[in-house]
Amino acid sequence: MSDILSGGTPASSAAISIGGVLNRTYGVLVANLAPFLTISYLLAVPLLVFNLLGGGGLAVGASGIGLSYFIAMLLSLATTYITMGALVYGTIAHMRGQPAGFSTCLTSGLSVIVPVILVAIVVTLLILLGSMLLIVPGIFATVLTAVAVPAAVVDRTGVWGSVKRSAELTKGNRLRVLGLLVIFYGVVMGIGWAVTLVGLPLMRPDGTILAALAQFVWSGMVTAFFAVFGAVLYHDLRVAKEGINTAQIAAVFD
């Protein structure tokens, strides 16, 4: 598996720093916490409303979640990746030394809504298909497509072009990308588990609204974190593989 994930290390490709990616992710997120969280929560409002109405299957005693669950999943997918589209721009702008304003980020995210959602659907299907076959193909697909959405926003190479671009950029650093993903999901799952343990005793039989609001707050933070993490990873992979700088990466937005 390690040979497959490594993808070889071309002489022209340098290794990314796991600590560097995490430090930059933290720095960008903290510096832009207000606008990034505002965008994340604003775009997640439709899903919150759907869940408050009981559509997401959160209501106690709800029977059957087929269609409602499917709609909730689609809304979650759409809001997550539109947010990613907006925050990819904001992250690259911040790393270039420019302000990542709320309106500019939001406009940027909405301008690439169609390709970003299409890429998100393809990536999700590839990961699901790989996971249904065996665990290893699912992990491989997750690593290969780790920066497909940032590639769709910055490179604008189309749906399959973005997936291929992600595979090219991760080549030579796939074990490090896997390590970063394990750290990211481990932290998210650990904190989520702790929050659930603390909040569970506070839930009442009529706790639908509390559950929906708690999910809204938590998912908004995770989405913002994931978006910045993906953008920083994309940036560092390009710098390592292509030997370019942040200004050259951000030039596409000029």
DSSP H stretches of helix in the chain: 2-6, 18-31, 33-43, 45-52, 66-95, 102-111, 113-133, 135-144, 148-154, 159-170, 174-199, 208-242, 246-250
Say how far apart CA 2 and CA 22 lie, in whole Å: 22
Prediction pTM value: 0.85
Structure tokens that stand for 96 in this block? 């270039």
Structure tokens that stand for 114 in this block? 């169609």
Closest by CA position to 231, among listed 69, 110, 73, 116: 116
**Do 92 and 154 contact (CB within 8 A), yes or no?**
yes
Taking only the tens of pLDDT, the chain with its 254 residues reads 544 455 544 444 588 999 999 999 999 999 999 999 999 999 888 888 887 776 654 444 444 456 777 787 888 888 888 899 899 999 999 999 888 888 888 888 888 888 999 998 999 899 988 888 778 888 999 999 999 999 999 988 889 999 999 999 999 999 999 999 999 989 888 887 876 676 655 555 555 677 777 778 888 899 999 999 999 999 999 999 999 888 999 888 87
Closest by CA position to 78, among listed 114, 32, 132, 28: 114
The answer to whether the Cα torsion of 121, 224, 22, 105 is positive or negative is positive
